[in-house]
Each structure stands twice: as C-alpha cells, then as structure tokens.
Amino acid sequence: MPTEYLPFIFFFIALFYSSVGFGGGSSYLAILSLVLTDFYEIRSTALILNICVVTIGTFLFIRNGVLKLRMVWPFFVLSIPLAYLGAQVILPQRVFFLILGSALILAGVFMLLRIIKSKIDFREFSNSKKIFLGGGIGLLSGISGIGGGIFLSPVLNLLRWADPRVIASLASVFILVNSVAGLVGLNIAGTFHINYDLIFKLIIAVILGGSLGSYLSNKKFNLKFLGVLTAILVFYVGLKLTLNYGFGIKI
C-alpha cells in the first residue's frame, strides 16, 4: 500500500474510532504494519496519533460535563506507571498481534451478547476494583503500543459500570494518559523511532477526523447504538488482526 493513501485512510479511522471514544491505535498498528518495516516505528507512530485523536475527545467530553473526575481517578493510579513499564517489554510482532486480536474478538462478542439480551442496570465499582482493573489494562496498553481504551471500554460495558457515553469519555482520557506514558517508556528503552515526514501528514489527517468524530459522539449518537457500534468495531479489528497475522488471511 503506498504511503500517499495513508492520510485519507487514517482520517476515516480517526473519525470512526473517536466517535466511540477510542484513538484508533489498533487499526493504525494494523495498517502501518503493511507499509512500514520497523516495528518500533509502527508502535511510536500509533501512540502519537492516539494522543492527537483522544486529546480532542477528552476536551469535548470534559467541556460537556460527561466525565466526572471523582468517578474515574482510581483507574489511573496504576495504569500510568504500568503503561510506562509495559512499553519497555519487547514481544515478537506476530505474537503481539495474535494476543491483541484474540482479546478484541472475545471483548466484542461479550459486549454484543450483553447489549442484545438485557436491559441495562448500571452499578458503581469500589475504588480498589477500579485501581486494579486500570492497572492491568494499563500494562497491556504499554506492551501493545495502544492506549488501552479499546480494552477498557468493552470490559466496563460488559460489567455495566456506566452508560456508553460515560465509558467512551473515560476511554478517551485513559488512552491519552497511557499513550503519553507509553511514549516515555519507548524513549527510555531507546525504541522510539519516527518518520517525521510521514507523521506530520498523518497528524493533520487524524486531527481532522478525530474532531468530527468527537463532535458526533457528544452531540448525535443514541446511547444503545454507541454501545453496538463499539462492539462491532472491536470484533472486526480483532478478527482482522488474528486472520492476518495468525493465518495469513487478509480481510
């Protein structure tokens, strides 16, 4: 795939992902792996683009009063240091994508089952539960090179923590802080590699797409539809990664 097409593709990825509170890191990784050969450059680029997209969403969610700090601060207590440490773990590229893809497939299936079968009753978590859940996903986000929101959001939807818009807002902030921690970890480990000519074009594309997607998320989307869209998106990305890297089948 020629790199000239990447800004257009990444515009739509950012639009779609930001509409459900994500940064798009998993799809950036998948697509960049088709055109770049340096795996560390792929991870570094995906984290930077994640930060660009979710910064916009975080600002809009906070401005619109969707996110309450008292509800979410425990998620970050362990996630930030563990994302930093996880970014310094080195995995073979194939193993990394297989683990990521399998986890996303399961998350998407469980989310769809919950949405289809139930009326939703939300329940609050203890601070300790939030701390350990955030820490585990923060570690995974650092290892995988994405912000972790695509793991956190399905888990919180499955456990019925809050409505999808609140979860989407938390996912945005979670991705932002853990992506920053991951970049710091890559720098410390000496594995931060970037192509500056390419990254500037991609940053412009994802900022434009992320701005539009975040607006739609805050203003237009029905809550149940937002949950279904999240589940389908998570499942599709997981299936794509698993088939591509596990069996050599491209979809």
pLDDT in tens, 128-168: 999 999 999 989 888 877 777 777 887 887 787 877 778 87
Q: What is the reported pLDDT for 115?
A: 64
- Report how many domains make up the chain: 1
250, part of any domain? no
Is 26 within the bounds of a domain? yes
Does residue 55 lie in a domain region? yes
Query: 163 lies in which domain range?
Result: 3-245
> How many residues comprise the chain?
251
Chain segment 197-217, per-residue pLDDT in tens: 899 999 999 999 988 887 776
Q: What percent of the chain clears pLDDT 90, i.e. is strictly above it?
A: 20
Domain assignment of residue 96, yes or no = yes
Task: Tell whether 166 is covered by a domain.
Answer: yes
Q: Over the chain, what is the mean pLDDT?
A: 82
Residue 10 inside a domain? The answer is yes
- 130 vs 71, 136, 139, 154, CA distance in Å? 9, 10, 14, 14
- By percentage, how much of the chain surpasses pLDDT 70? 90
Place of tokens 């020629």: 2
Reference 178, options 239, 214, 135, 207; nearest CA is: 135
Q: What is the pLDDT of residues 82-139, one digit of tens each?
A: 999 988 887 787 887 787 788 778 777 776 776 665 555 677 788 999 999 999 998 9
CA–CA dist 181, 95 (Å, integer)? 23
Looking at the domain assignment, is residue 251 inside a domain?
no
* Residue owning tokens 């995995």: 91
Whether residue 223 is predicted with pLDDT greater than 60 in this model: the reply is no
CA dist., res. 69 & res. 241, Å (int): 34
| Contacting residues for 118 by C-beta, under 8 A, at least 6 apart | none
Which sign does the torsion angle of CA 206, 212, 218, 223 carry? negative
Q: How many CB atoms lie within 10 A of CB 4?
A: 8
Write out pLDDT tens, residues 45-59.
Answer: 989 999 998 898 788
Would 130 be classed as within a structural domain?
Answer: yes
Q: What one-letter code names the amino acid at 81?
A: P
Give the global pTM: 0.78
